Amino acid sequence: MDINTTGEIIFTDAPDHWAAKSDNTFSSLHQLSPYIGKLKPNIARELIAAHTLPGQLVVDPFCGSGTVPLEAFLAGREVIASDSNPYAFVLTKAKLSPPDSLSDALAQLDKVYEKSTKRSDESSNNAPDWVRSFFHPDSFKELIKFADECIASRNWFLLSCLLGILHHQRPGFLSYPSSHLVPYLRDKKFPQSEFPEMYEYRALLPRMRAKLTRAFKNTSKTTTLSATVKKSSIENLVLPSTVDAIITSPPYMNALDYRRDNRLRLWILDRSTPNYSTEPTDKAKGLETMVSSLVKHAVSSLKPGGVVILVVGETVIRKRTKTHPSRSYIDALLSTGMFMLISAMRDNIPDIRRSRKTGAATKAEHILVFQKLDS
């Protein structure tokens, strides 16, 4: 990595093939359920292969959709994944511990569904209007009972598949016409008077069977190594002192609204979820806490010679605030005197991939690789 005469970091361009779509060499579990701002599997796979070895312990403290943990696990690394978001926890848990086969998953579906039909209508009857507005009443009762049974039996895989078909305008999904990634009704584009079939009852069981079939379209045999998923904020996360790599894409201040954009799925998991809530990174203090906590873990838990790999926004301009999350992590890690920045790449983000509308929030990401110095 080059540094110019003024001490400024010179970034290399990310490989062109990182922009390519994932092919059938990647597990279909990556598509279990949508997640805004998710890291592409091919980027995660290359970073893991380049900087870790089989059997080593990889930690992702902001695991999100579980891309890094799944790729690390399939590559024969031990994994600890964590996130404070309940949706991230459930989704990552599902990807790291799926049923052994499609037939096993279908058998679990039949068993859980049968038990769910014996549940009362209390949960659906007490749901807030903003949630009920997305569904035909009979579809809603059915999916809430099924979700409650999945939660009671801790069947995170079936629950994640349910969240994956929760809302969309396509026939294989459970809601009235709405967007897929971020929940908002599309009743103006698809008025009920013109599209009555899109507002009819949608049965859960056949849609779940189809979803499970898609989920097992291309799956790899899991390893016998350990994978641990924790529901924890990074400041409360407890790690062993044997970590070989921290590989993560931390939230950027003001860049994305994870709570708002996942609010319908989050409500299924936590019935106290409001229609809108603020993000931890809406305030500078939230970003500072995340940065300092990550540095603390890197100092105390990472082995000498281990790596910290961050995929983080270059500059974020949103809500009348300009921040430089990449610079924050660089300064914080280097200021310890215990890390060396060994690689820095810049990856332009297509507007359709991770930013809203014109991509005003952030135009590029930095891929930063730090190595912990020998003491």
Nearest alpha-carbon partner for 73 in 116, 127, 30, 33: 30
**pLDDT of the residue at 232:** 96
Summarised one tens digit per residue, pLDDT across range 52-106 is: 999 999 999 999 999 999 999 999 999 999 999 999 999 999 999 999 999 999 9
10 burial (CB, 10 Å; 0-12 / 13-18 / 19+) is exposed
Q: How many CB atoms are closer than 10 A to CB 72?
A: 30
Summarised one tens digit per residue, pLDDT across range 100-141 is: 999 999 999 999 999 999 999 999 999 999 999 999 999 999
**pLDDT of the residue at 319:** 53
Contact indicator for 338, 299 with CB cutoff of 8 Å: yes
Distance (Å, whole) CA 90 – CA 150: 11
310: its two tokens: 């961050």
Q: How many CB atoms are closer than 10 A to CB 242?
A: 12
The more confident residue out of 226 and 352 is: 226
**Interior angle at CA 276, CA 274 and CA 280, nearest 5:** 105
Q: Is the dihedral of CA 236, 237, 238, 242 positive or negative?
A: negative
**pLDDT of the residue at 19:** 86
Question: Which residues, other chains included, contact 94 with Cβ-Cβ below 8 Å and sequence gap of 6+?
Answer: 29, 32, 66, 156, 157, 159, 160, 161
pTM (predicted TM-score): 0.91
Question: Which residues, other chains included, contact 206 with Cβ-Cβ below 8 Å and sequence gap of 6+?
Answer: none
Distance (Å, whole) CA 12 – CA 15: 9
Q: How many CB atoms are closer than 10 A to CB 259?
A: 18
Task: Tell which CATH classification among 1.10.10.10, 3.40.50.2000, 3.40.50.150, 3.90.76.10 matches the domain 2-97+219-372.
Answer: 3.40.50.150
3-state DSSP assignment of residue 185? strand
**pLDDT of the residue at 220:** 67
Q: How many CB atoms are closer than 10 A to CB 312?
A: 25
Summarised one tens digit per residue, pLDDT across range 253-284 is: 445 677 788 999 999 999 999 887 766 655 66
* Structural domain boundaries in the chain: 2-97+219-372, 102-215
**pLDDT of the residue at 361:** 58
Question: Which residues, other chains included, contact 313 with Cβ-Cβ below 8 Å and sequence gap of 6+?
Answer: 252, 255, 325, 326, 361, 362, 364, 365, 366
Quote the DSSP letter at residue 54: T
Contact indicator for 134, 264 with CB cutoff of 8 Å: yes
Query: β-pairing, 227-231 with 12-13?
Result: unpaired
Element (H or E) spanning 29, and its range?
A: none
